[in-house]
Amino acid sequence: MKTHVRVLVIGGGVVGVSTLYHLTKKGWTDVALIERTELTAGSTWHAAGLLPLFNMSYTVGQLHKYSVDLYKRLPAETGQDVSFHVTGNLRLATCRERMDEYYKYCGTANTIGVPFEVITPQRVKELWPLVELGGSGDTPAIIGALYHPDDGHIAPADLTMALRKGARAAGAEIYEHTEAVGIERTASSEWRVRTGKGGEITAEHLVLATGNYARQTGGLLGLNVPAIPVEHQYIVYDESPELKAYRKGGGRELAVLRESDKSYYLREERMGWILGPYERGAPARFADGVPEWFGRSLFPGDLDRLVPHVEAATRRVPALEHCGIKDIVNGPISYAPDGSPLIGPAWGVRNVWLNEGHSFGITAAGGAGWQLAEWIVEGEPGIDMLAVDPRRFGPYTSRRYVVQKNEETYRNVFTVHFPDEERPDGRPAKTSPVYDKLSAHGAVWGQRYGWERANWFAPPGVERRDQWSFRRTNYFEHVGSEARRMRERVGIIDLTPFTKHEVTGPGAQAWLDRLVANQVPTRIGRMALSHALTPRGGIRSEFTITKIDEQHFYVVSAGAAERYDSDYLRKALPADGSVGLRNITNTRGCFVLAGPKSREVLAQLTDTSLDNAAFPWLTAQVIEVGLAVDVYALRVNFVGALGWELHFPIEYAHHLFDALFEAGRPHGIGMVGMRAMESLRLEKSYRMWGSDITPDYTPFEASLDRFVRMKKGAFIGREALERQLASGIPNRFVTLEVREVTDADPLGNEPLFDQRGRMIGRATSGYYGHCLQKSLAIGYARTELATPGTELSIEILGERKPATVLPESPYDPENLQLRA
Ligand SMILES: Cc1cc2nc3c(=O)[nH]c(=O)nc-3n(C[C@H](O)[C@H](O)[C@H](O)COP(=O)(O)OP(=O)(O)OC[C@H]3O[C@@H](n4cnc5c(N)ncnc54)[C@H](O)[C@@H]3O)c2cc1C
């Protein structure tokens, strides 16, 4: 056994072996993998082997597509067959919401190039003659289906062996029966892994790919990894006479069938079937680690839980009635609280990488190995990985939270994934101090990064509940009222969840300047919207940097980016101690007070002069408001109105809230929620970190040129931007007015087409602009098609709508209100 390698992968399931394989593909061959027992002994050996391309996430969709393409090539490359049955995959729809979901998905699929067809019930019957189209009694009529001709199922163990063969041929080593039992940092900042056999391997980089053991392995490094498995069962049926007859008559292998509205999948297996339900009541397992006795074991089958799904499947495919049950496979399937895997750097420790939490690990393994290897070798992934970055979760992922969320995620695998869905479990967890006050104002809550956030406020007498939809729905008009309140009078948004850092010390200015593309403010009271770039020039973070004092900066970023940004900043700190960094997210609250009357409201509570000469737009002061001291008042906001963000010591939250409301009452002050903010920011073309600005696009593509100072000296990503300037900027940010919309506004991830019907970009966000009374989208189009006035079209829920490129900031383009 080697005692030193460049990368050591821990865990020999399909995900670990794929990571090893892809590291060798990147040319890193001094790599090894250790497995506690035998390869595939975890969840991999008993997986059903389905490879569903369907996924609502732009990132995960790309990973799955890569996998399916790779698995087709692997046998020729390695000489190892993987039993990939390209049967196609049919997802049935029996209600309009399901069809909307499929059409929404089609937008994402189009933008990433996944082939699919939306088909009629008649075509379903042609492809799947043994299915009942339904329409009576307990079997609802199939109204359409989504068909992926390219996917199917594979033998997970064979796939792992093919990846193993490829990795070993390139020089990687694999040691079975070698368990990692201890991990420590060496004096030279490498990782020393002690194995159960008493040996040691030292590595520059560690990859944890330990499936159901993720919490134990993470624990060796002090990491609370939010991955806990849930039981998943499938039933293996005996031979089916009807299926045999169909195949004997020349029928091809049937597509994998999913009746999403009844939450099960069905595929052929040796002239019989495998039926896999995602049922209610499946318990999380191993929250405290996998017991020693489990090994390759399975749980006993629990048929009672499956009965409703078996009955539904039998009504849909009566052939099931004539087959006996051969076996029930019930195994642990790893989950993270939002159902997507954890792929990327671990937080707080250097050169430790996670490839954990895979619930569709056979499907994801290829893509997950591909991008993680890219990240390790190149220092950044090749695609936007924010949706799977392990740092999208924070310290709030308590054991109970993860258990509740994972069980909820499991039973919702097949429910309709509404874009405005807010799942209830594990809530409320993190709340702003004025949570009860907002509830008293009618808040209808959502959750992000563990925080409760008011999405909208139900006026008295209106039911405080969302009716989730892909279309305009029950809260539409109330969101409109909130948006108009902000534009016409004055409103408050509670943005306490913002991520907030304090950067201090003699080296602070120079350090920040190297991290971001904009000029860091040099004068006290100045602020700058700044972007930290990846070495390839993509936008990794967005910070509002305010200079509070000499050697003291206040750095604000997205609430959901707390661990992501904090980890990045901490790892980037200079070693000489010249910069101090403090995460003060939980010590300061934030209220946005904005609207034409906001100055009059605030003026009643402060002695600080608020007129334009004393307190101009884009400046900040530390002021007193009411009885509160040390309030950072920033004259900026994300809604494009006169106003201030008040960042206050958290203990003043109640006082400030009451004082602002009292002062604002004569001016018609009211609460404004996240959905109205979405509408308002789109009217101003403001880009949202994580959806509109991501590592996939440079600040030039995002048309944020005015926030880039190429001449200021070195900063991360500058060389890449220089190269892009020299070679030409391929895409540009666009704001679009979408016409002929009746009830379905764009929401993001819709493809854009030119006049000749060619796909030329994608929308990254969209909403109804309530004040402009226009349906709006923002996104990226090829540069030559990004000039105002260009006519494009956008596909919303399967229908092409005309869209015109507008000049940036369709509402108040001169920023007169901001400067008022
Ligand atoms: C019943 C069932 C059906 C499924 N069907 C599908 C499907 O159809 N399609 C699909 O995409 N997915 C499916 N899955 C999910 C899929 O099985 C998993 O997502 C996938 O196998 C995860 O692979 P992995 O490599 O992450 O984990 P695992 O396969 O669990 O591998 C982790 C490995 O790490 C090893 N290990 C742990 N700790 C240590 C240590 N300290 N030192 C050394 N080694 C260690 C373990 O022994 C194990 O071999 C199914 C799961 C179940 C339970």
Ligand 1 pocket mutation, candidates 210, 217, 296, 372, criterion most atoms within 8 A of CB: 210
Counting atoms of ligand 1 from 1, which one is nearest the CA of 265?
8
Counting atoms of ligand 1 from 1, which one is nearest the CA of 39?
49
Find, among 2, 15, 1, the residue nearest to 359 by Cα. Answer: 15
State mean pLDDT over 621-645.
97
State mean pLDDT over 334-340.
97
- Is the CB of residue 159 below 6 angstroms from any atom belonging to ligand 1? no
Based on the number of CB atoms within 10 Å of its own CB, is 338 exposed (0-12), middle (13-18) or buried (19 or more)?
middle
- What angle separates helix 14-25 from helix 156-169, to the nearest 10 degrees? 30
Q: In angstroms, what is the span from residue 42 Cα to ligand 1's centroid?
A: 5
- Radius of gyration (C-alpha) of the chain in whole angstroms: 27
Mean confidence (pLDDT) of the chain: 97
Ligand 1 pocket mutation, candidates 82, 333, 406, criterion most atoms within 8 A of CB: 333
Q: In angstroms, what is the span from residue 360 Cα to ligand 1's centroid?
A: 9
- pLDDT tens column, 727-775: 999 999 999 999 999 999 999 999 999 999 999 999 999 999 999 999 9
- Is the CB of residue 50 below 6 angstroms from any atom belonging to ligand 1? yes
Q: In angstroms, what is the span from residue 252 Cα to ligand 1's centroid?
A: 30
Q: What phi and psi values does residue 30 have, to the nearest 5 degrees? A: -85, 65
Residue 458 is classified by DSSP as P
Alpha helix segments (H runs only) across 86-131: 96-112, 121-127
- Is the CB of residue 284 below 6 angstroms from any atom belonging to ligand 1? no
State mean pLDDT over 456-483.
98
Provide the terminal-to-terminal Cα distance of the chain, rounded to the nearest Å: 71
- pLDDT tens column, 357-395: 999 999 999 999 999 999 999 999 999 999 999 999 999
Long-range contacts (CB closer than 8 Å, 24 or more residues apart) made by 782-789? 782/730, 782/731, 782/732, 783/728, 783/729, 783/730, 783/731, 783/732, 785/754, 785/760, 785/761, 786/731, 786/732, 786/733, 786/734
Dig out the tokens for 133 from the structure: 């189209």
For atom 18 of ligand 1, the residue with the nearest CA is 361
State mean pLDDT over 104-132.
96
Dist. CA 348–CA 327, nearest whole Å: 45
Q: Which residues lie below 8 Å from residue 399, measured CB to CB, with a gap of 6+?
A: 228, 287, 288
Least confident of 55-59, 479-483, 582-586: 55-59
pLDDT band for position 521 (cuts 50, 70, 90): very high
Dist. CA 787–CA 164, nearest whole Å: 50
State mean pLDDT over 155-162.
98
Say whether pLDDT at 245 is over 80.
yes
Chain-centroid distance of CA 590 in Å reads 25
Q: What is the pTM of this model?
A: 0.97
- Count of H-run helices and E-run strands, the chain: 18, 35
pLDDT band for position 701 (cuts 50, 70, 90): very high
pLDDT of residue 624: 98
pLDDT of residue 43: 95
- pLDDT tens column, 251-310: 999 999 999 999 999 999 999 999 999 999 999 999 999 998 887 889 999 999 999 999
pLDDT of residue 293: 86
Find, among 621, 666, 668, the residue nearest to 646 by Cα. Answer: 621
- pLDDT tens column, 397-427: 999 999 999 999 999 999 999 999 999 999 9
The Cα-based distances of 157 to 172, 294, 482 in angstroms read 19, 19, 55
The proportion of the chain whose per-residue pLDDT surpasses 70, expressed as a percent, equals: 100
- pLDDT tens column, 201-223: 999 999 999 999 999 999 999 99
Question: Please, what's the b/e burial string for 37-54 (b: 16 or more CB within 10 A of its CB; e: otherwise)?
Answer: eebbbbbbbbbbbbbbbb
pLDDT of residue 295: 78
Based on the number of CB atoms within 10 Å of its own CB, is 559 exposed (0-12), middle (13-18) or buried (19 or more)?
buried
- Is the CB of residue 584 below 6 angstroms from any atom belonging to ligand 1? no
pLDDT of residue 770: 98
For atom 14 of ligand 1, the residue with the nearest CA is 47
Dig out the tokens for 428 from the structure: 């409320």
pLDDT band for position 567 (cuts 50, 70, 90): very high
- Is the CB of residue 15 below 6 angstroms from any atom belonging to ligand 1? yes
Say whether pLDDT at 136 is over 90.
no
pLDDT of residue 296: 81
Counting atoms of ligand 1 from 1, which one is nearest the CA of 50?
8
Find, among 129, 414, 134, 146, the residue nearest to 254 by Cα. Answer: 129
State mean pLDDT over 44-67.
95
pLDDT of residue 761: 97
Q: Within a 10 A sphere around the Cβ of 375, how many other Cβ atoms?
A: 18
The upper half-sphere exposure of residue 200, i.e. CA atoms within 13 Å in the direction of its Cβ, equals: 9
- Is the CB of residue 626 below 6 angstroms from any atom belonging to ligand 1? no
Q: Is the dihedral of CA 577, 580, 581, 586 positive or negative?
A: positive
Say whether pLDDT at 137 is over 80.
no
- pLDDT tens column, 180-204: 999 999 999 999 999 998 999 999 9
